Amino acid sequence: MSQRPFTLIQLSDAHFLEDPEGLYRDQSPDACLAQLKPALKALKPDGLVLTGDMAEDGSRPAYERVVTHLEGLAPQVGWIPGNHDDVDEMASVFGSAGYDSGPLLHWGGWRLALLNSVVENDPAGELNQDQLSLLDCLGQDPQPTLLFVHHQPMAVQSPWIDRFPLRSPEELMNRLDPQWARAVAFGHVHQIFSVVHEGVQYLSAPATSVNSQAQMERFTVDPTGPKARWFRLMPEGRWATGVISAGMV
């Protein structure tokens, strides 16, 4: 097995619209992602994981333009949906592009669990019995694992988004053991967040579109622009992570 670290980038909450000229929170989601792209390329990622809300309106053209933007960026792409996504359109476009919805990926000697937390017509999330059963299976093999889910399993102290969390997060947390579960990475919150809970790190990827300043009652635009989270995964289970911003090349 190669000892080279595996570089993974988590992209989240691109909020593309059907109209390529359309605006999300007064900014162009396409332009935001384009602005971030040189920094993403500079990391030479081995894989991308898209953690939902890649479209604001669930439209096919939005997903098609996401694929166009990400073309050639990494040899492998995994994805989960968010509350704004149309899962059927997303699966159709991303499936044709060769993107993988898992639910398990095996990258760089690690196991990645892609958990679908979407509940139809509900901005909050939940893990269904299939997802919980998957977690029970994972616990039987202590392979280093990263878990991805769209909704935040704990409050990020921003009331505007904490109204729409992952419900019943204890069903997730009680199934995780730091012996195998290294981190849970989520999107949805449009800000940077990281905390260790019972030996497992919970962290967010800020949006590739518009972010909010942290710990705000209402969405308050963060002027530092689009972002993404990177991970370097070592085969023996060590890992590192950080946030990348547009302009960091």
Residue nearest to Fe ion (CB): 188
For position 152 contacting Fe ion by CB under 5 A, the verdict is no
Quick count: other Cβ atoms within 10 Å of Cβ 34? 14
Q: Which of 58/82 has CB closer to Fe ion?
A: 82
Q: Which of 145/158 has CB closer to Fe ion?
A: 158
For position 82 contacting Fe ion by CB under 5 A, the verdict is yes
The piece of 21-29, 80-88, 100-108, 222-230 that touches Fe ion (CB under 5 A) is 80-88
CA-to-CA distance for 94 and 226, rounded, in angstroms? 22
Which three-class secondary structure state does DSSP give residue 147? Answer: strand
Among 6, 24, 51, 53, binds Fe ion (CB under 5 A): 53
Q: Which backbone phi and psi does 164 adopt, to 5 degrees?
A: -125, 65
For position 69 contacting Fe ion by CB under 5 A, the verdict is no
Short-list 241, 239, 100, CA closest to 181:
239
CB 207 within 8 A of CB 82: no
CA 95 to chain centre: 17
For position 212 contacting Fe ion by CB under 5 A, the verdict is no
For position 83 contacting Fe ion by CB under 5 A, the verdict is yes
Q: Which of 205/233 has CB closer to Fe ion?
A: 205
Q: Return residues touching Fe ion (CB under 5 A).
A: 53, 82-83, 188
